[in-house]
Amino acid sequence: MKRIFLLKGLDCPNCSAKIEKEVGELDGVQSSVVNLMKQTITVNVTQTAADTIASQIETIVYSHEPDVEVQEETVMNVTKSYSLKGLDCPNCSAKIEKEVGELDGVQSSVVNLMKQTLTINVAQTAADTIASQIETIVHSHEPDVEVSEIVQESYIPEKKQEANESYNNEDKKLTVRLATGAAIYAIGMALTVFAKVPLPIELAFLIVSYVILGGDVVWQAVRNIF
């Protein structure tokens, strides 16, 4: 796992060399590189040492440069998975996992030989170019292995999809009912105004339109009474 720490205020070449050496000798640290110009230290550390590495680095830095501010660099990471079709060599998979894990921006690298997959956690800034680098590493050990990114498909959960479909159907029914009721009401009013139909016919149109538009309310009221 690769971690980067900012060493704000570090300007001593001799001290930076000592810090790099002492951090590199810590348990679980596989590599340690200080960049004096950028004022950073980049370490590659095992998972078992990941929880304590920050405090250990801080202690070492302060022993040489008490005024230097130590802060882990925050980067946006993404998880990517790749299919390694045809991979069946345990030794090669271990080498691939290690070499991919050492690439710039890669925080973690895990090969699942049974599933023939590689899963990495990589900085957003390196995500666009990581695929070609992985392919190069894989083919250097297993030329016949097919490397392809596994794209996670977005989907609507089945129950939620059914609920949406049910809602859409009910919405359509309501729209049709409202339109029908409004049309019958409009016809009744038109006949009353222009055709001078008898009052019973006018009332019939109004009652039918009311039942269509507000039938649910009437039915619920009747059920509540009884």
Among 35-39, 132-136, 222-226, which stretch is predicted with the lowest mean pLDDT?
Answer: 222-226
For 143-174, what is each residue's pLDDT tens digit? 999 999 998 755 445 555 555 555 456 666 66
Domain 2-72 has CATH 3.30.70.100: yes
Same CATH topology for 2-72 and 77-149: the answer is: yes
For residue 109, the model assigns a pLDDT of 92
For residue 207, the model assigns a pLDDT of 72
For 7-19, what is each residue's pLDDT tens digit? 999 999 999 999 9
- Maximum CA pair distance of the chain? 108
Domain 77-149 has CATH 3.30.70.3190: no
For 171-200, what is each residue's pLDDT tens digit? 666 677 667 767 766 776 676 666 666 767
Q: Which stretches of 9-152 are assigned E, i.e. beta strand?
A: 29-35, 40-45, 69-72, 77-85, 106-112, 117-123, 146-149
Domain boundaries defined on the chain = 2-72, 77-149, 158-225
